[in-house]
Amino acid sequence: MPKSSKIMNLSRILRFLNKMLPKKITISRIVQAWIFIFSCCIPFFWLENPKAQEVAANAQQNQDSTTNQATNEAGQVASYFYSVPKNPGKDKEAAGIFLKSVTDHIIQNRGIQDFYQIPQSENSWLETILATDRQWHQELEKLEKEYRASFSTFVNDKSGTNSNSILIKQYSKAINKLQSEIDIIRRQIVQINVDQQIYISNLRNIPLISLVAVKMPFTAEIAAVGSNGEDLLSKSIFRNIEEPVLAHLTNLHSKKLNVPFQNGNIRITFLYPENITRFDDEANEYVYLFQRVEGFPFSQGITSVENRGEKNLKIEIFKNDPDIETFLNSENVGDQRLLNWLKKELAYQKVNNDYTLKTINTRISYFTMFRNGLKDDIEKIMKNISELEAKRDSMDQDNGNGSILKKLAQTREAYENHYLKREIKTYEKYTLEHDVMFSSMKNSKSKKGKSADNNNLILDSRIAENIPISGRPVKDIFSDILLSASQNRSINLAAYRERVYRENIEQTHLVQGELEWNVEREEYKILKLTRGSVGSRTQFVIHLAKQTHLNSKPSFPSPKTGICNSEIFFSQGKFTLNKSARKDLSKAARCLRKYPTQRVLITGHTDPLKPNYGEGSKLNNVQLGLRRAEAIMISLTKDGFDSGRFTITSVGAKDPMSTGRSEKSLRKNRRAQIFSSPEI
């Protein structure tokens, strides 16, 4: 360092001490002086001591490493999900888990978050909810198509495995089965269309939110209203805002949906709690009401309030922050609290409306996706029918049944493994205000005949009474909110039912079933912890990201039960099936397929044992009857029946159908009986 620079630094020290001496000397001033002197003297030591520079560089490197490590650890905390205790009311460790999650979040964010700001993590989580749900359904649809294709190939191949003498008939039967499957798929498409219409009909309970300001003359009617604003909901002046609100929602959102808007109605769900009035130049007093208005554009009803055509009523619906500022400035009303609340409310309304619209569009796309998938299946089946018709004409038989069975088993396993487990991502918000705690999760269990208006957003006022606020650390308050919320909220599993398919026992067609879910475990992550004021009220707010791990319980319709009783006749001393026997066996097989869960008893019979006639000795007759029963079982197994269903036995000549001696009578005893009932 040049000497001139050293002199300048010394002069700075002297000037600083000169300023400090005339004033009152305190401990803080002494500390400031030492800090100043130390900062000025460091360059002397630094520039003239290379060893010190090396030590300082190493220290800085270690500090950077420590900082990076702390940053990585903070990132891990941010992405960590905490397990929700299964019985939070009885689990003594539950409170500790909730307290730890709150503490970690506060430490990571260096305090609670801004009450009026929407964290980026919330928007990202809402997008994640839609993305994961879409990916799960797309994978389900893909695996189902692969399973259908391999099963169709298996059925087609199975139809051509028997001898060439009946191959043409089997191809014809397979074609008829495929045509029947097309009819079944078309009925499934109709059911999807019905489900879509039901879903659209249920949208009448789904609101889109608007932020509305109403300016009106101050009258005795307004003065008579309670301070909480609840009586205003029934006043006729609010009938005047219905048409502008619905028109605003239609212009703003209708083009984003493939679902048409209806007449609709509205409901005012929140009124800014402060009375705001102003006198104009003529000393007329006006009152300003700022409201959160839920519009139901998918509903066909109207609000049941008389419209008397209020005069001097000004309605302003805010679209963005500049609209809010322009209105407040032009009317010269409000304060910073009102401005902050309006901006925060408008921001959350935009997030809520965008999420609602995306959810509706996503659900409608699911119907379209599955409908198009079934149409593609019909096209593939039609192509298979054409191929079978060509095979029937050319009598070409593919001998690759082993690989087809392997492919069927692989696609079946992949399809079932996908829908056996599922991870549901949801978003929840809990607000504690005085003696009431609210939740963003509406109760989906509505009784028949009750509208969505009866769905209470209030969890339980008794819960809030058990959460004291005064004089407590905020982390304890938030921890108690989580504990109370975990005891009173549960995911609506009925909303996640899905249609799935599997083969019937005889592997002739696919049957439709439903998935019912059981909760395996739940996890949560805190997105936002905040405390703020809405007017004169203080709110404690928690935003959560939830992950629910589900196990499915497939439910398929029970097969029918009934009785099948058939007789198959043989030539004398023979156990092979002739043309007439095969025809009778085909009729018997149709009956057995109706009741695929029932066991089948096949009993072989022979002629009565007599010295001068009969089919042989007693031992030979028993063996012959057993061979006849076995021949029938082998034929049915080749036709697709499960060999485990059959029990074969022989009584020889012990139970004759006819005791006559003529050939006609003896022919009736050369038989095998096929019997199936629920009692076997």
What is the rounded distance in angstroms from the CA atom of residue 422 to the CA atom of residue 418?
8
Both tokens of 182, joined, read 């097309």
What is the rounded distance in angstroms from the CA atom of residue 598 to the CA atom of residue 558?
12
Summarize the confidence of residues 410-435 as an average pLDDT: 89
User: Over the stretch 199-258, which tens digit does the pLDDT of each residue have?
Assistant: 888 888 899 999 999 888 877 666 655 444 445 544 556 667 888 998 988 888 888 887
Query: What residues are paired with 524 via a beta bridge?
Result: 82, 546
What is the rounded distance in angstroms from the CA atom of residue 193 to the CA atom of residue 88?
42
Task: Say whether pLDDT at 52 is over 60.
Answer: no
What is the rounded distance in angstroms from the CA atom of residue 403 to the CA atom of residue 381?
20
Confidence of residue 485 (pLDDT cuts 50, 70, 90): confident
What is the rounded distance in angstroms from the CA atom of residue 241 to the CA atom of residue 222?
16
Least confident of 44-48, 265-269, 412-416, 651-655: 44-48
DSSP conformational letter for 228: T
Both tokens of 133, joined, read 């749900």
Q: Determine the pLDDT at residue 29.
A: 52
Q: Which amino acid is present at 647?
A: T
What is the rounded distance in angstroms from the CA atom of residue 566 to the CA atom of residue 226?
83
Task: Say whether pLDDT at 533 is over 90.
Answer: no
Which three-class secondary structure state does DSSP give residue 243?
helix
DSSP conformational letter for 87: S
Least confident of 89-98, 123-132, 232-241, 348-357: 232-241
Interhelix angle 401-420/120-158, nearest 10 degrees:
150
Q: Which amino acid is present at 640?
A: G
Q: Please give the C-alpha separations between residue 315 and each of 242, 289, 358, in angstroms, as whole numbers.
A: 10, 10, 29
Task: Say whether pLDDT at 666 is over 60.
Answer: yes
Contact 484, 467 (CB under 8 A): yes
Q: Which amino acid is present at 225?
A: V
Task: Say whether pLDDT at 536 is over 90.
Answer: no
* 537 φ/ψ angles, rounded to the nearest 5 degrees: -105, 145
Give the CA angle between residues 340, 345, 348 to the nearest 5°. 125
In a 10 Å sphere around its CB, with 0-12 CB exposed, 13-18 middle and 19+ buried, how is residue 543 labelled?
buried
Which three-class secondary structure state does DSSP give residue 82?
strand
Q: What torsion, rounded to 10 degrees, do the Cα atoms 326, 332, 336, 340 define? A: -40
> Considering the chain, what percentage of its residues have pLDDT values greater than 90?
30
Question: Mean of the per-residue pLDDT values for the chain?
Answer: 78
Summarize the confidence of residues 564-575 as an average pLDDT: 91
Longest Cα pair distance anywhere in the chain, in angstroms? 148
Q: Determine the pLDDT at residue 421.
A: 92
Task: Say whether pLDDT at 559 is over 50.
Answer: yes
Q: What torsion, rounded to 10 degrees, do the Cα atoms 136, 138, 141, 144 define? A: -60
**Domain residue limits, the chain:** 3-78, 120-202+358-555, 206-334, 564-676
Q: Please give the C-alpha separations between residue 236 and each of 218, 309, 449, 470, 568, in angstroms, as whole numbers.
A: 15, 8, 27, 41, 84
Residues 6+ apart with CB under 8 A from 568: 577, 581, 584, 585, 588, 628, 632, 671, 672, 674
Q: Determine the pLDDT at residue 557.
A: 78
Q: What CATH code would you report for 564-676?
A: 3.30.1330.60
In a 10 Å sphere around its CB, with 0-12 CB exposed, 13-18 middle and 19+ buried, how is residue 11 labelled?
exposed
Summarize the confidence of residues 79-92 as an average pLDDT: 78
DSSP conformational letter for 495: G
The more confident residue out of 385 and 273 is 385
Q: Please give the C-alpha separations between residue 303 and each of 130, 263, 265, 293, 299, in angstroms, as whole numbers.
A: 33, 11, 5, 13, 11
DSSP conformational letter for 560: P
What is the rounded distance in angstroms from the CA atom of residue 285 to the CA atom of residue 276?
10
Confidence of residue 24 (pLDDT cuts 50, 70, 90): very low
Q: Are strands 671-676 and 436-439 parallel, antiparallel or unpaired?
A: unpaired
DSSP letter for each residue of 160-197 = T-S-GGGHHHHHHHHHHHHHHHHHHHHHHHHHHHHHHH
Q: Nearest Cα to 277, choosing from 334, 357, 229, 319?
A: 334
Summarize the confidence of residues 598-615 as an average pLDDT: 76
End-to-end CA distance of the chain: 107
Q: Which helix (H) or strand (E) holds 418?
A: helix 401-420
Answer yes or no: pTM beyond 0.85: no
User: Over the stretch 640-650, which tens digit does the pLDDT of each residue have?
Assistant: 888 889 999 99
Q: Nearest Cα to 634, choosing from 165, 162, 24?
A: 162
HSE of 537, CA atoms in CB hemisphere, 13 A? 16
User: Over the stretch 305-342, which tens digit does the pLDDT of each residue have?
Assistant: 444 455 678 889 999 999 999 999 998 888 899 999 99
Highest mean pLDDT among 11-25, 125-139, 260-274, 659-673: 125-139
Contact 449, 65 (CB under 8 A): no
Q: Which amino acid is present at 509?
A: H
Q: Please give the C-alpha separations between residue 60 and each of 53, 70, 182, 673, in angstroms, as whole numbers.
A: 10, 15, 73, 94
